[in-house]
Structure 1
């Protein structure tokens, strides 16, 4: 994986240019891992919902309120244990998200949900989705080095939108 040019990344972050940071992150993830869909979610405690703040497919998965935050194994894994979820097929997706039907009518059949952690708190979820079999237990290790960039992009978004992330 190509090293980041941190001075230019920091200029984007300081200017609040979350779009440029997310686009850079998407390019890096596409090159190193691959995906059909990449999204980033943050918790919106005031709404008890997840808010999608970035999507590579804004028509089907637009920014805005996404899923309700409910107590579940998925929530515990990402927000309490701060560990990623890898599902290689729809059956494994259903074991984590039993009521989720957002992939009906698509070729999506595998996902990775990776918690983005700062100050020992999950501040966001990096999501990669692709065809069944695309991801395996080694995929999170390849994502780990990109979470710093994702954290910077989330911080830039929160700064630009006037949110603290702890509302």
Structure 2
């Protein structure tokens, strides 16, 4: 993680950081889909996507009043969905996720000042992730705090 910290000073933010984080998580645990969402009221708003055709950066979802939202957004806990059942439990758009050959997920809450302000999301084939994979990427989430604080400030 410390090797990514200097990137926060580089020009072209937040895209510079988003690209580097996408590559670092790919190196650490792999993924077929990488998205970043910030919390905007009762919605989450997508600010980065490795697959913009299927998951455009203009996308929004109402996730705060779901079991996943209670766990990740309100509870501030990461979510590890190891299989298709875990995807179906968490996401109303599970059919699109499954159609892309994705069957496991890691959602990392990005926390600031006692609240979840966004999530970093990695998806891959079924059974691609386990507790060890989650532990490898969990420390990266705080790097997104400045970008998500700025995204929230820009919307107001």
Specify the alignment match of 1:79 in structure 2.
73
Specify the alignment match of 1:33 in structure 2.
29
Q: CA RMSD in A?
A: 2.1
Query: For 1:102, what is the secondary structure of its paired residue?
Result: helix
Q: Bigger relative contact order, structure 1 or 2, given CA contacts below 8 A and separation 6+?
A: 1
Specify the alignment match of 1:120 in structure 2.
114
CA distance in 1, matches of 2:110, 2:54: 23
CA 1:119 to 1:31, structure 2 compared with 1: closer, same or farther past 3 Å?
same
> What runs of 5+ residues in structure 1 fail to find an aligned partner?
none
How far apart are 1:122 and its partner, in Å? 0.4
> What runs of 5+ residues in structure 2 fail to find an aligned partner?
none
CA 1:62 to 1:97, structure 2 compared with 1: closer, same or farther past 3 Å?
closer
Structure 1 runs (4+) greater than 3 angstroms displaced? 97-100, 155-159
How far apart are 1:104 and its partner, in Å? 3.9
Per the normalisation by structure 2, the TM-score is 0.87
The structure that has the greater radius of gyration is 1
Query: For 1:34, what is the secondary structure of its paired residue?
Result: coil
Specify the alignment match of 2:55 in structure 1.
61
Specify the alignment match of 1:52 in structure 2.
46
Per the normalisation by structure 1, the TM-score is 0.82
Query: Is the contact between residue 18 and residue 157 of structure 1 (CA under 8 Å) also seen in structure 2?
Result: no
Alignment of 1:131-146 (within 5 A): 131-146=125-140
Is 1:89 the equivalent of 2:87? no
